[in-house]
Structure 1
Amino acid sequence: MLPLTVVGALVAGAALAGCGAQRDDDVYTVLNSSTDDSYHGWDAATLARCSKQLGIGIQQQSVPAAQVMTKSLRMASSKSLPDVIQFDASEMPTFAEPGGLVDLRSLGLSTKDIPQGIVDFGSYKGTYYGAARTVNTLALFYNKDILDKAGLPVPTTWAEMQETAKKLTQGKQYGIALSAGGAEDGVFQFTPFMWSNGGDESDLATQNVAQALDYWKSLLKDGSLSKSTVNWTQADVNDQFMAGNAAMMINGPWQVETLNTKKNLHWGIAQIPVPKDGDKSVGPLGGAVLTVPKTDDTARQKTAAKIIACMSSEKEQISYARNSWMVPANEKAAALWRKEVPELDALADQVATARSRTAKVGARWSSVSLALQSAFQSALTGQSSEAALKKAQTRATSGN
């Protein structure tokens, strides 16, 4: 990520200078990360319906997720910003901080029937900048056949999960798989353990956070978790689960389409186990939000808001959720979706208690994430959790 000072200069310049490049008055652009053929097709269908409904042309421009921010900044510097930018919600504050986004409420978009946690997910310092169509979070996926054969129930607490994972570890099969790699995947997977144990990203050097990291270390020590976990992405974890190399895994609904390609794999999901009975399982809200970048063309901004309103309507949310296996952001849409896919009911329950990674630290999240990534690599390869997290907090505070 570029330094915030550089981001601020580019974004502020775009907002003050306007659009710059010549535009077709009846063609609007949506920048997203839908490079995958399936997602690109689903979004193309959505935009075609919205184009017809609004009587305008809408073009989709897709780049890899890691490039959305840099692409947006380059377009800001050349004064050619798109009309709508779909940011990962964890990146949105970086663009909002220097005043680069328009308050969606000021453009007439309502947050009625959207849970407060999801409103916060698309907000920065109390201002609603990003509308989510669907959201996701993590859950515990388990192989029904393996657990049934062993006569074991689905674990609900850390102690139960550790015991179950240990019993299911045999031969090439590990009890559980998760991503603890040095990237955002690992941090995303660590947050439910940190938060459910009372830990907080605003202070990593606490016993609550150390206990969560020690729990991961205990799974490694038992041999229930592969040492390769420090290199695995969430896609790698799913590959291990599908190959029968893991009886359980921590992962998200974006894997369901792939899981369902293996017809003899009977899987189920449950909420992520908590430290002890009675604790709340708090996972991270994931997904993207639709935003309107600030320029001096207020008329286009208002039309951009109409595009977002169409894309995030109840009907379109359900359509997108059916395809992507994500959970609709709108409560009414989510209730209908639950009836359609009862096998993912536990995921909807997990979403209900989930929260945004940027809610407490805002644009500082990228520094916190990088610090945690380094801490995982150190702690899971020998350093004490306390020492690794103390160093991580220093790094997160300094931003280096």
Structure 2
Amino acid sequence: MEICIVGTGYVGLVTGACLAEIGHRVVCVDDDLEKIATLKQGRMPIFEPGLDNLVTRNRREGRLSFTTDLKEGIEAATVIFICVGTPPLEDGDADLSAVEQVARQIGELSSAYKLVVEKSTVPVQTGMWIEKTLKVYGGGKDDRFDVASNPEFLREGSAVEDFLHPDRIVVGVGHPRAERLLRDLYEPIVSGDFTCPTHGVCREAGPIPFVVTDIKSAELIKHASNSFLAMKISFINSVADLCELVGADVERVAEGMGLDRRIGRAFLNAGLGFGGFCFPKDLQAFVKIAEKCGYDFGLLREVDRINELRIVQAIKKLKDHLWILKEKVIGVWGLAFKPDTDDVRYSPALALIHRLLAEGVAVKAYDPKAMERVRQQLPSLLYCQDPYEVASGADALVVATEWKEFGDLDLPRVRTLMRRPLMLDGRNLFDPLKMKAMGFEYLGMGR
């Protein structure tokens, strides 16, 4: 099938590379000249495990290409995925100007039938506006376009795996023709009838659920899913605060809760709170969507409030033990919002660092992948070559991102390097008893 992907951010680039991997011919379009030049040179604009191999192989084999010319991209395509950004506005609503612009251009440039699929995370009823825009700018003909919603459920750090081995594929359609095209497009993934770069042929995994709904329901599924996961994180963080007050261990509580199949252990990890570009943005947008429709989603407002307070709690823990933060040296392990990505958007680590700098702290930092991105925002930080350099001379250490390499460090060496062996484990990466046995003043979250 001939596919056009408009937008080469996390979603667009992963979608394009993975669709090429299962046999489709894909053209990825972006108006960012530098990004397209980077991709054409065989370099990656983002870090995502396994993605560089997929892009390189499928470019070499002629199934994946990149251009800045939207007309070139859509001319041969039957299916066009809109994967442009929908950043938050000041009031929390989603900025859909890029979606509208792409829909308008598709309408103006298309001379034959196209299935236009919204892959970007958008508010409910966006599909209706895309349909109207295509009709107005496409000459008023109803039969030239179908619109569908196909929300993405990709986790940064495992996006390739999530695309090729999803929990489910959701499509919202208004016409049987659109459903047929999307079933054909995803058939290799649904059936497992393709050679996965990680697992080989995957037929034994069984069929993937292919959920067909109306467009509005599909749009809501994405926001509802992310908001629910954010709610689980804020819930366990509230439980963590209670655990500290009564002397319980949130890790044991989460383990006991998670064994209930109705609850599950995933996303019950207490810590500095959630970040990244999806959860905070989607949560606020969902609240705004409900507000526009006349419903006050107070539950999600509280989820957001609890998350905002996590950094306040962390600063309080440090003050309770260091007394005065001004002119102290504090090391931070991790800058990305989660491990296995270089994405620092809405990162709790950066929120914490901004607070520390405001207190007059000298901050040393290290991250395996994200330092160059942060250096552009915070040039005043002392960026270190490794975690040991961060620890050297520090009055305290904060584990802000749970990179695997931090768990494998020589901790006795870390302790001897520090001026004071105080560790705030913002991700509960270490065992409290073992840390105390090694001589650390150990502060966990809810432990």
**TM-score range with shorter-chain normalisation?**
under 0.3
Larger radius of gyration: 2
TM-score normalized with structure 1 length: 0.26
Q: TM-score under structure 2 normalisation?
A: 0.24
